[in-house]
Structure 1
């Protein structure tokens, strides 16, 4: 049995399969996900686990290049949760619309669904490499 790191088997497997330039999402509990995209559903109840708790667990495990968030998240607490944990260049698009965040989710390998209820607590990360 693992004693540290990511203990959720589905999440650990998905993270181990990430390669350079792959995309994945960490989302609040309400983000719509298009059919065919794997959802790793960590949500137990509203607020459990928190978006920031999942970011904390992911931070030591990954090398990331960029993050994409909704423009509506700029200046909000969800943006600070991402900025405080990851030294990535953040880009912004509208939450809705043909080029919006919800539409961009279709490019992700998987979505990690948290129990977060804070508006716009969603980020699309692009993986980097450690060399």
Structure 2
């Protein structure tokens, strides 16, 4: 039995199979997930688990060089945007922050290795993480 890191076998499997520039999405419970994209559904009840706690755990096990948010988060959920920025700046100070329309973000989920669905119920609480090259980050 695994002692540390992500215990969810589906998430662990996806992370271990990712390469440089592969995409992984973490979304709120309302984000539509394309049939062709692997769905890892963690949602139990509204806000359980939350988007931020899921993002925190996943990014403890993943190297990130960039992340993509919906442009709409700026006006519709600025508190969440700031929470994401704070977390990402702390963990990945050189990661590039990108914005796209919510429609385009939903379209991009088709190219993600997986979409992790949380119980989050706040608007535009979705992120696409771009995998970094792990050996380039070793010092």
TM-score by length of 2: 0.86
RMSD of aligned residue pairs (Cα, Å): 1.3
**Counterpart in 2 of 1:28?**
28
Structure 1 position 2, deviation (Å): 1.9
Aligned partners of 2:101, 2:59: CA distance in 1, in Å?
25
Does the aligned pair in 2 maintain the 1:6–1:57 contact within 8 Å? yes
Is there any run of 5+ residues in structure 1 with no aligned partner, and where? none
Aligned partners of 1:14, 1:104: CA distance in 2, in Å?
17
Q: Which has the higher helix share?
A: 2
| 1:102 correspondence with 2:109 | no
Equivalenced residue count is 128
Deviating 4+ runs (over 2 angstroms)? none
| 1:90 correspondence with 2:97 | yes
Is there any run of 5+ residues in structure 2 with no aligned partner, and where? none
| Higher alpha-carbon deviation: 36-45 or 101-110 | 101-110
TM-score by length of 1: 0.91
